[in-house]
Structure 1
Amino acid sequence: MKARKKRLLLVTVSLSLLGLATFFILNAFQKNLVFFFTPTQISAGEAPLQHSFRVGGMVENGSLKTLEDGITVRFLVTDTRNSLAVQYRGILPDLFKEGKGVVAQGKLAQAGVFIAEQVLAKHDENYMPPDAKYAIDQAKTKAKTLPEAVLP
């Protein structure tokens, strides 16, 4: 084989291997990508049904219930505009409380209940995940700008 054909073969094989490696890396990245949604976005149908994602907001006061098995809990996450029922089986973080910020990761069930695989609570009084804080601020702004119903 001539030197030119050897170089062409080497370049072709190298580019093929590079393309294959890029495909595997992007495929792995796509499978591990987790998006964040608010309860308002989920109620609007923006969240994926088949894939895992994160939901964040505040735990509604009075919504925390422990089910009969003693391990499963249900609570509502709100962004002050809409609420979403969350079910989690496991031990909640020590800082998890009603009225405090929370981020849960899991999937949305057919019944509209979010089945959480992981629950994260904020770690001090001043911290809230930036996406959750932004979503709550946006919901408050929209609530203030909505016109009130005119009564007859």
Structure 2
Amino acid sequence: MALVNSGEEPDTLTTMEQLDAWYAEHEFTGRRDHDAAELDALRALRPTLRELLTAERDDAAELVNALLAEAQAVPQLRRHDGLDWHIHAVPSDAPLAHRVAVEAAMAMIDVIRSDELSRLTVCVDDRCECLVLDLSRNRSRRYCSTTCANRNAVAAYRARGRQSAG
């Protein structure tokens, strides 16, 4: 989700330093090329992941299958770098964008199987296109960030003030 949202204005994935920070924040392991091609490949992956994360259930399943087939994914349990058993579906020496695509597809398998795609939405702020993952118990999250939520709360407050004054 963070990778997709990095493509919204202002784009927050344009430099190697930003890529390094994103890589560290999301605790990816394995091969890193540290070159412009790697950065460009991740940036190019964003529209595909946006399509996957906003698709209807059957379309999302087709996209997952296509991503996994393209990567020739073979899920296996791995334990490394102090992490307990978890799934890797491509080798750790595969290109970073390749691994990110497969990890997103693998994560979506459970979302699709449990029919929870309604937890993935687009921010309701008219000026924002970021994606929202709603993990709240009552499914009430509507904004991607506190910034968007606050901007809309202030606008609503001011509108109420104008309405009562007018």
* TM-score normalised per structure 2: 0.25
Greater Cα radius of gyration, structure 1 or 2: 1
**Which has the larger strand fraction?**
1
TM-score, length-scaled by structure 1: 0.26
